Homo-oligomer: A and B are copies of this chain.
Amino acid sequence: MREVFQQEMSEVQDRLVGIAELVKSSITDAVESFNKSDVTLAESVIARDSKIDDAVNELDEHAIAILARQSPVARDLRMVVSALRISASLERMGDMAEHIAQLARYRFPDKVVPKAIRPTFKEMGALDVAVATMLVDLLKTQDVKIAEKIRDEDDKVDALHLSVFETVLSESWSQGTETTVDATLASRYLERFADHAVSIAKKMMYLSTGEWNPSSN
């Protein structure tokens, strides 16, 4: 029984890693489509989202089947529940990548944000890609040091998110309303993407430490 459980959980882990890899591809392409105004890339991100959703649903069904067949308790049970929570966060990360790609497609052939603020968005995008890469590693290795690094990267994203508002609200901002709306939403999506990664990192830390406080995000 124990061996079967471990085998099944190792499949759950593989699936989580697989979904995280899809999310990493999505955010990488979304950020590039946003930076370079690449509509083909944006379309591929949008198309990939239903693949992520399907993989999430399959994983959830698999996790529920494990609960039904194995009736795990204690730490094993928390692992399965955590897998369900992690998959929900990955699904939302995919949605954020899709939203960013949608902005790129919508404004094509124009770029979404004006030149002056582009370096900030480039930096935020690169941090989100780094966070997604770390997340794949974290799910593969379950090394909590990576969880801490994700939190550090998220702090940087939050600071840049605030700086976008500072720029947009400064005297020197002479852009039209459309650009202001787009910059506001894009910054919010990039910030939320990293938030979800932190939320997953907390779940992983909880699994190794037993401390669970998912809402104090």
Residues of A within 8 A of B (CB): 53-54, 56-57, 60, 64, 67-68, 71, 73-74, 77-78, 81, 84-85, 88, 91, 165, 168-169, 173, 175, 177-178, 180-181, 184-185, 188, 212-216
In the bound complex, do residue B184 and residue A181 qualify as a contact, i.e. CB atoms below 8 Å apart? yes
Known pairs A185-B188, A188-B185; A213 contacts B67 (CB<8 A): no
- The interface residues of chain B lying within 8 Å CB-to-CB of A68 are 73-74, 77
- The interface residues of chain B lying within 8 Å CB-to-CB of A188 are 185, 188
Each complex incorporates copies of this chain amounting to 2
Assembled-state Cα–Cα distance A60/B212 (Å): 11
CB distance from A45 to the nearest CB of B (A): 16
CB-based nearest B residue for A175: B177
- The interface residues of chain B lying within 8 Å CB-to-CB of A215 are 53-54, 56-57, 91
CB-based nearest B residue for A212: B57
In the bound complex, do residue A81 and residue B84 qualify as a contact, i.e. CB atoms below 8 Å apart? yes
- The interface residues of chain B lying within 8 Å CB-to-CB of A77 are 64, 67-68
- The interface residues of chain B lying within 8 Å CB-to-CB of A214 are 57, 60
- The answer, among B57, B181, B213, B216, for a CB contact under 8 Å with A180, is B181
